[in-house]
Structure 1
Amino acid sequence: MVKCARTFSCIVALSVILGACGKDEPRSGVPEPVASASPAAAPPAQTVQQAQVRQPDETARQERDGLALVHIAQLPKQAAATLRLIEAGGPFPYEKDGVVFGNRERLLPRHPRGYYHEYTVPTPRARDRGARRIVCGGPRRQIGDCYYSDDHYSSFKRIAD
């Protein structure tokens, strides 16, 4: 093990070494790095607070329905454009956009029939509607209850903003 004084560089070196073990593994018997007294080394308080508030909320959603999360920025640009159309209430380019999605696959959280509606995400160079869809639930179809499928309903990811 490395011997050194309790300096910031030593703590950073230890955290890098320990970080290689895996972020989620418990590190029993190893003291946690002490924050530096230097204000330049500490992240802004707002960023830390946002991370503490946002992460548990997203994790709770993921655990609640068992679906992975995908952020809007990670979606194809056509999916982001479809989300904007959904929020605006249309007009939609495909006749079937906005029809009731039956959730026959039972991959989405259960709700009464009529809760979910499906929308086409255009696929470049496809001659038909393609396999990509966004399914949104609720009366206002808010992004918090929208899901993305790029394999024609075989799997879904919850869309997070």
Structure 2
Amino acid sequence: MSSLGSENVAARTTTAVPEVGAIALGELPPQGQETYRLIRQGGPFPFDKDGVVFGNRERLLPISKRGYYREYTVKTPGSRDRGVRRIVCGGPATQPNACYYSADHYANFRRIEP
């Protein structure tokens, strides 16, 4: 098989996943560090919607089956509602495989490196 043919096979079999930058846990705002700690201990969470399934409809995170990702609020000082900051984790509830921080209500994500 020519190299051109193998490149075409690779292009057809690889699912495009957006690049997600990383952020160290210590670089998160203090409220994000607190939310991450609550996730790891299983709560209690300050908002009813914390822990609900995150659908990843925009496919900004690696593709996984429905129910894999859950979202959590990162409090925003001065905000009267949940604000725009979130942590989304995939995998088991208190031992997630990966967590991602969004400072802009899911427009961008950065993988949290503990």
What is the aligned residue count? 98
Between structures 1 and 2, the one with greater strand share: 2
Structure 2 partner of 1:90: 43
| Aligned 8 A contact 1:144 1:159 in 2 | no
Between the two proteins, what is the percent identity of the paired residues? 60
> What's the offset of the Cα at 1:66?
1.5
2:19 maps to a residue whose letter is: G
Question: What is the TM-score with the length of structure 2 in the denominator?
Answer: 0.81
Gaps of 5+ in 1: 1-63
- One-letter code aligned to 1:133: R
Aligned-residue offset at 1:142: 3.4
Aligned: 1:109 with 2:62: yes
The structure having more radius of gyration, on CA atoms, is: 1
Change (3 A) 1:102 1:141: farther
Higher RCO (CA < 8 A, seq sep 6+): 2
Note if contact 2:84-2:105 (Cα within 8 Å) is conserved in structure 1. Answer: yes
Residue segments in structure 2 that go unaligned for 5+ positions in a row: 1-16
Separation (CA, whole Å) in 1 of partners of 2:109 and 2:36: 15
**One-letter identity of the residue aligned with 1:91:** P
User: Per the alignment, do residues 159 and 144 of structure 1 end up closer, same or farther by CA in structure 2, a change over 3 Å counting?
Assistant: farther
Instruction: Assess, with a 3 A threshold, how the Cα gap between structure 1 residues 94 and 115 changes in structure 2: closer, same or farther.
Output: same
> Between Structure 1 and Structure 2, which shows a larger proportion of helix residues?
1
Whether the aligned pair in 2 keeps the contact of 1:144 and 1:160 (CA below 8 Å) is no
Q: Quick one: which of 84, 90, 101 aligns to 1:137?
A: 90
C-alpha displacement of 1:119: 0.1
For the 8 Å contact 2:39–2:94, the answer to whether it is kept is: yes
Task: Give the TM-score normalised by structure 1.
Answer: 0.58
Tell me, yes or no, if structure 1 residue 152 matches structure 2 residue 75.
Answer: no
